[in-house]
Amino acid sequence: MFLEQSRKGEPKKGWIEVIAGSMFSGKTEELIRRLRRAEFAKQNVEIFKPTIDVRYSEEEVVSHNANSIRSTPVPSAANILLMVGDVDVVGVDEAQFFDNGIVEVCVQLANQGIRVIVAGLDMDFAGRPFGPMPALFAVAEYVTKVHAVCMHCGELAQYSHRKSAGESIVVLGEKDIYEPLCRRCYNEETKQDK
């Protein structure tokens, strides 16, 4: 496949970076930080998020610390390919909410010489791998696992414990519905939930 030429006449090198962890671990904060650095370097950047995520803003990616960056909401992964213009970097937030097509979209963009940065929850509320995230780990050149702080004991947390009842995988919410927990505290809480 022909790769777009860089400024020096060499093919641009694309790759995939995945930022994953539990809720309140700083995934979106890290995504925004990397995208801002790319913008500062005068790279063309486009950011996408699933239309389902309207917790803070319909058209911005917003971290829990209220940092934000403009984005384009899309209903499915395929829409990203239709909307990507002449870019150096593509950011994707809340990747776990996209269909499995997000994996091929990221691979295709990277093969075209684009740096792709993806952030998402690695596990759902039940501690199971979440949607396309495991496949994204497999195809990524770089994987960063970030951790929250356990709300019960203060250790590193990797689980997003849902405090409300229900079996639906997707329940949008914040600290009123979810809390980050370490393995021990998560196991204790889920025993009590049953």
Q: Which residues are catalytic?
A: 94
Cα separation of 94 and 55, whole Å? Answer: 12
Q: Read off φ and ψ for residue 29, nearest 5 degrees.
A: -60, -45
Cα separation of 146 and 194, whole Å? Answer: 28
Cα separation of 144 and 38, whole Å? Answer: 18
Neighbours of 92 (CB within 10 A): 29
**Residue of 14, 2, 10, 56 whose CA lies nearest to 32:** 56
